[in-house]
Structure 1
Amino acid sequence: MAQEMLEYTNAKPYLPLVYGISFLHSVVQERRRFGPIGWNIPYEFNFSDWYASIMFTQNHLDSKERIAGVDWVCLRYMLAEVMYGGRVTDDYDKRLLVNFANLWFSDDMLEDGFYFYKGYPLLKHKQKEEYLEDLGKLPEFDDPFVFGLHPNGYITLRNTMAMDILDTILSVQPKESGGGGGESRESVVTREVEEMLSKLPEDYNPHEVKARLKEMGALNSLNIFLRQEIDRMQRVIKLVKVTLKDLLLAIEGIIIMNENLREAFDAIYDAKVPMVWKRGSWESASLGFWYTELLMRNKQFHKWCFKGRPTAFWMTGFFNPQGFLTAMKQEVARAHKGWALDAVYLDNKVTKHFTQVISAGPKEGVYVYGLYLDGCTWDKKQDRIVESVPKVIYTEMPMIHIFAINTNEPRPKDMYTCPVYKKPRRTDLNFITPLWLPCKFSFEHWILRGVGLLCDIK
């Protein structure tokens, strides 16, 4: 920033706005370090965003010379929707940016003693040297509350950095067997493959599945969804079985070790999920977690198909959880005369049950379990979200009753619209649906915390 920029105008709002925009610029950049809890997508905010915002502020104040005050609605819109918001593609990231603009950019910013956070005052000097002197007095270690985050965010940050380093070290390890006296790579992989084959579920008999679905009601929305999920599960089981058997033959030298088998061999040795499996199924942090999830998913589908509809559903175990909720909405809409599917909306209520073992399901809708809170914790006594417990990153939620209603009225102000994702990586591909959770403090507070619900925390 040149000294001339600070001397552009003597308008009272100018210097506070320059510093406020600069502070906003620093915060949106720093939040990228915290991963998905900071931003769902790590946007490349840069100098041009800051400079364009300053230029707009100058033009805005010039045009308002004859009018007292600042048009805050216009300013907030330009910052959150155009200058910085123009880069933002995720709806919940846009909500966060709008929240920052609403939090700071108001008449309060022009008052003496305004603080962005304790220890971080708004500076409005005329000389660059004065800014540099005061900025040098700021804490060397930034409190995560400045960015709107809980201190647990630093634990997530360090865990991510450690995992990246370990993955890098693992990727540069030699792939060929050494001459040492330890167990060879081939024998390690062979043992792992044989163990996985011994635990692999049996193929589904399509005639038995069809007969059971017909018995339960083949045209029922949730039964149609179940058939689609079983078809996908069968493809995964077949893919895993073929890969493991071919890998054993390749290790013995009976068939050629092609590129896919070589990649699967290296991945299994490193306890990673082979790419050919991941493309046809789901992501996971390690092979052990992935294979355990395969067994658990199959158990839920098999039990549902051959023993009847569960009283509660493990949300993580679905390939298409959005389709599951849509099927539930369709089931409820059909049960009510005159309800159109496009006019039916999801609603939910958090129960007090912390186990999926219950005597009966709800009259309408479904019970789901296996969701985890990220960015806060659940108060069992008050039945609401509260600040995270130090050093506890994720908190398991009680069972949630999700149902459908024939209205889209606004939720109470003490309810936080919480996005639900399949995995910790919060992308559009992993987004499922919003749920509404009662909360302590305002919902803006939880937006800054980056609170979300995750089906899987691994």
Structure 2
Amino acid sequence: MQVQAIQHSVSLPAKYTQCKMYLSAIARCLHFFQISRNEKQWKSWFDKEAPEEEVVPNSYDQSLDCFRRLLLIRCWCPDRTIAQVKKTLFWVILDLEKMWEESDPRTPLICFLSMGSDPTDSITALGKKLKIETRYVSMGQGQEVHARKLLQQTMANVSPGGWALLQNCHLGLDFMDELMDTVTETDFVNDSFRLWMTTEAHKHFPITLLQMSVKFTNEPPQGLKAGLKRTYGGGLQDFTPKCHKHWGKVYETLDELKHVLCRRKFGPLGWNIPYEFNQADFNATVQFVQNHLDDVDIKKVIQYMIGEIQYGGRVTDDFDKRLLNTFARVWFSEEMFGPTFNFYKGYNIPKCSSVDQYLSYIQGLPAYDTPQVFGLHPNADITFQSKQAKDVLDAILSIQPKDSSSGGGETREAAVSRLADDMLEKLPPDYVPFEVCLCPMNIFLRQEIDRMQRIIALVRHTLVDLKLAIDGTIIMSENLRDALDCMYDARIPARWMKASWASSTLGFWFTELLERNRQFQAWIFEGRPKCFWMTGFFNPQGFLTAMRQVHMAPGSPPIYPLPGRRPDGPQRERRAHIRVKDSRLYSCPIYKKPVRTDINYIAAVDLKTSLHPEHWILRGVALLCDVK
């Protein structure tokens, strides 16, 4: 749908133009030509909190089958796509015993590891229940010898046999082919033998081994309720000293913080960088507080240890460090010991004296956590659900067959070749090397043009070679194959993305290339512009530095900083620890793109606010120059 020309035109109100591309693509099977006549009904349906649960206007509720209804939801409300999918799927709880009953000695059982989930304990517990010994080897360098010995012992056709568990097989890929031959070609195998394997997804894992195996995964429970239940159900007594009256509240707050810090699912709104906070960080924090609860000022010490050492030691971004310190400052304060303190409405610190009472309180928590629990705006959930839907659809798209079309339509190669011709025709010519005077602005322009020239040359070289490979003149290399697949799916080839900038689709990316080139051409041939497009620079911080150097020269006009800004500029602000001097000012970062990294960072501005700046820090508020 993304490559083929859209023949069907859909009449839509202006406010729905962002959906036009998707609606046009499915117009062949769904007729939306009457949307403009019933705009109020469609708008009312669109504005519902859960449109997939409502009746579709224009009597489409009766005429659409399950799949076409999913297409409709995908076009109108991308963030509700997964919710609609869940209505048609059956969710099955993993049952290892049933999997064992369906397996046989020559069929391995492979578990794909996910973050926070390890099936080792469950497999061992099942073996004990069935009175079968389970022995395991963790794969890695030099572990092949131990793996061979383990297989010989457990596969032998003499008692007792048993189960073999090979952990982290992605670290021993060279042994996988030998393992497959051993399992399939051994003449006699003990009937009680089973081969369990755990691995991360890896593109070099043998396909044949995957095809002959039973594959499963076991993701950990999601949400605060499941996380708290797992913590308190795992032996809180080991951490509970009886010497301090506030220990229960401190422990509950530490545990709540541990799960709230997992707001990385919200992407850049949660953390600029997705940190891997784990159970070891929590245990270290609990142990420190337990040892020093009576000796130190609990408020200041806990705030410092959490924000700078226990959790803060993993944080590398200045604004992420500010967020973490804000959590520590807001939650670990004197109000924490008061009766009215709560993390969010419905999430308070219970007065419990036993683990059973804590578990009873946890059972009453909501099953679904709203973004406000993590300190975010409710709209953060829309961003998360839209990203989740995009990731699922991209994965489905990536595993589609790549063979040429056998029907009468246009083949993949022909479509990509036509697209390559169009891009080559629009691609700007190469820049001619030139000398520049030693002026900071000219040096900055030369550096930007050098990077742009490398991208233009890379794109032209890839497109020319791709056309030759499609015609059979040269060999289709791995990079060219990736470019063909990405261009057909309207995605950006990996080599182009690595050398340039992020964008949502290939069309947006190529349009930005032309716009960047247009700005540089105007600067070269028409003189320095009065207005600059900051997003069009590779290094906007370098532009600000060059501009400041120019105006610091004798006789140059001064730069007047924005109200509330420090006169030493963004470079020093970035290196220094960010502190809010005025309680009415929020230091708001500016980024080129939604991905909030140092590459996209431009500067920070101080914005006046009627609320405390901590409110906006917890919500991850930032200014974006581009959202595509």
Matched, 1:430 2:600: yes
**Structure with the greater relative contact order (CA < 8 A, sep ≥ 6): 1 or 2?**
1
User: What CA distance in whole angstroms lies between the structure 2 residues aligned with 1:57 and 1:96?
Assistant: 21
Q: Which amino acid aligns with 1:246?
A: D
From 615, 620, 627, give the equivalent of 1:445: 615
In the TM superposition, what whole-angstrom CA distance separates every residue of 1:156-201 from its partner, at most 9, and x where no partner exists?
Answer: 1001111110111111111110312221112101110111112111
Q: Which amino acid aligns with 1:332?
A: H
Q: Which amino acid aligns with 2:553?
A: R
User: What CA distance in whole angstroms lies between the structure 2 residues aligned with 1:166 and 1:74?
Assistant: 46
Q: Which residue of 2 aligns with 1:360?
A: none
Matched, 1:289 2:508: yes
User: What CA distance in whole angstroms lies between the structure 2 residues aligned with 1:148 and 1:130?
Assistant: 27
Q: Which residue of 2 aligns with 1:63?
A: 295
From 555, 562, 571, give the equivalent of 1:348: 562
The secondary structure found in structure 2 opposite 1:316 is: helix
The secondary structure found in structure 2 opposite 1:328 is: helix
Shift of 1:6: 6.8
Q: Which residue of 2 aligns with 1:103?
A: 330
From 515, 530, 548, give the equivalent of 1:329: 548
User: What CA distance in whole angstroms lies between the structure 1 residues aligned with 2:571 and 2:363?
Assistant: 57
From 14, 17, 26, give the equivalent of 2:250: 17
User: What CA distance in whole angstroms lies between the structure 1 residues aligned with 2:302 and 2:524?
Assistant: 57
Q: Which residue of 1 aligns with 2:401?
A: 174
Please show how residues 35-46 of structure 1 align to structure 2 within 5 Å: 35-46=267-278
From 119, 140, 145, give the equivalent of 2:372: 145
Residues 336/104 of structure 1: CA separation in 2 closer, same or farther (3 Å cut): farther
Please show how residues 212-227 of structure 1 align to structure 2 within 5 Å: 218-227=437-446
User: What CA distance in whole angstroms lies between the structure 2 residues aligned with 1:128 and 1:224?
Assistant: 66
User: What CA distance in whole angstroms lies between the structure 2 residues aligned with 1:292 and 1:206?
Assistant: 24
**Ranges in structure 2 where 5+ consecutive residues have no aligned partner:** 1-231, 574-578
Residues 457/406 of structure 1: CA separation in 2 closer, same or farther (3 Å cut): closer
Q: Which residue of 2 aligns with 1:87?
A: 314
Shift of 1:300: 0.6
The secondary structure found in structure 2 opposite 1:436 is: strand
Shift of 1:299: 0.6
From 123, 128, 142, give the equivalent of 2:355: 128
Please show how residues 183-332 of structure 1 align to structure 2 within 5 Å: 183-206=410-433, 210=435, 218-332=437-551
CA contact (8 A) 2:570 2:604 kept: no
Shift of 1:40: 1.4
From 412, 415, 422, give the equivalent of 2:585: 415
Higher strand share: 1
CA contact (8 A) 2:591 2:624 kept: yes
Shift of 1:347: 4.3
Residues 168/3 of structure 1: CA separation in 2 closer, same or farther (3 Å cut): closer
Q: Which amino acid aligns with 1:37?
A: L
Q: Which residue of 2 aligns with 1:52?
A: 284
User: What CA distance in whole angstroms lies between the structure 1 residues aligned with 2:529 and 2:536?
Assistant: 13
Matched, 1:28 2:242: no
User: What CA distance in whole angstroms lies between the structure 1 residues aligned with 2:473 and 2:544?
Assistant: 47
Residues 118/336 of structure 1: CA separation in 2 closer, same or farther (3 Å cut): farther
Residues 415/180 of structure 1: CA separation in 2 closer, same or farther (3 Å cut): same
Shift of 1:7: 5.0
Shift of 1:414: 2.1
Q: What is the TM-score with the length of structure 2 in the denominator?
A: 0.58
Q: What is the TM-score with the length of structure 1 in the denominator?
A: 0.78
Residues 73/427 of structure 1: CA separation in 2 closer, same or farther (3 Å cut): same
**Ranges in structure 1 where 5+ consecutive residues have no aligned partner:** 65-69, 351-399
Shift of 1:53: 1.8
Aligned-residue Cα RMSD (Å) equals 2.8
Q: Which amino acid aligns with 1:163?
A: K
In the TM superposition, what whole-angstrom CA distance separates every residue of 1:248-267 from its partner, at most 9, and x where no partner exists?
Answer: 22222233333332222222
Residues 11/404 of structure 1: CA separation in 2 closer, same or farther (3 Å cut): closer
User: What CA distance in whole angstroms lies between the structure 2 residues aligned with 1:4 and 1:225?
Assistant: 62
Residues 3/152 of structure 1: CA separation in 2 closer, same or farther (3 Å cut): closer
Q: Which amino acid aligns with 1:18?
A: Y
Identity of aligned residues (%): 51
CA contact (8 A) 1:35 1:42 kept: yes
Shift of 1:419: 2.1
The secondary structure found in structure 1 opposite 2:553 is: helix
Q: Which amino acid aligns with 1:57?
A: V
Residues 174/7 of structure 1: CA separation in 2 closer, same or farther (3 Å cut): closer
Q: Which residue of 2 aligns with 1:376?
A: none
User: What CA distance in whole angstroms lies between the structure 2 residues aligned with 1:58 and 1:324?
Assistant: 50
The secondary structure found in structure 1 opposite 2:588 is: strand
CA contact (8 A) 2:580 2:587 kept: no
Shift of 1:229: 1.4
User: What CA distance in whole angstroms lies between the structure 1 residues aligned with 2:257 and 2:310?
Assistant: 12
User: What CA distance in whole angstroms lies between the structure 2 residues aligned with 1:115 and 1:404?
Assistant: 39
CA contact (8 A) 2:244 2:294 kept: no
In the TM superposition, what whole-angstrom CA distance separates every residue of 1:44-69 from its partner, at most 9, and x where no partner exists?
Answer: 222222222222222112436xxxxx
User: What CA distance in whole angstroms lies between the structure 2 residues aligned with 1:22 and 1:98?
Assistant: 16
Shift of 1:435: 2.7
